[in-house]
């Protein structure tokens, strides 16, 4: 999952609604590839750009977004 998100960020894409339901496998077993789906809230970003919009599924929203402080696009919490 981290590799998929990292690849998106290398392309300048921020998904903005990461949750388990948006990760799918192409097939069962070791040959299956992990795919990220549902880029409906996704945006292109520039390095260092901050976002303050509260978007995404409420249960998975980054804590920093709730208070309007925004969050850095490269931050990932597990």
Residue 21: C-alpha distances to residues 30, 36, 60, 67, 76 (Å): 20, 9, 11, 25, 17
**CB 28, CB 43: distance < 8 Å:** no
Mean pLDDT of the 17-29 span: 94
Q: Is residue 5 part of a domain?
A: yes
Q: Is residue 48 part of a domain?
A: yes
Q: Is residue 78 part of a domain?
A: no
Q: Is residue 13 part of a domain?
A: yes
Residue 17 appears among annotated catalytic residues:
yes
Measure the CA–CA gap between 38 and 72, rounded to whole angstroms: 21
**Annotated catalytic residue: which of 4, 5, 8, 17?**
17
Measure the CA–CA gap between 31 and 52, rounded to whole angstroms: 39
Q: Is residue 1 part of a domain?
A: yes
- Which pTM does this prediction carry? 0.74
Beta bridge partners of 24: 35
Q: Is residue 76 part of a domain?
A: no
CATH number (domain holding residue 54): 1.10.510.10
How many domains in the chain?
A: 1
Mean pLDDT of the 27-42 span: 94
Paired tokens of 48: 């260092």
């Amino acid at each position: 999952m981290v590799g998929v998100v990292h690849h998106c960020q290398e392309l300048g894409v921020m998904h903005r609604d990461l949750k388990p339901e948006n990760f799918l496998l192409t097939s069962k077993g070791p040959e299956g590839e992990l795919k990220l789906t549902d880029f409906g809230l996704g945006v292109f970003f520039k390095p260092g750009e901050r976002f303050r919009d509260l978007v995404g599924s409420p249960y998975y929203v980054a804590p920093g977004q709730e208070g309007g402080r925004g969050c850095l696009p490269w931050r990932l919490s597990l």
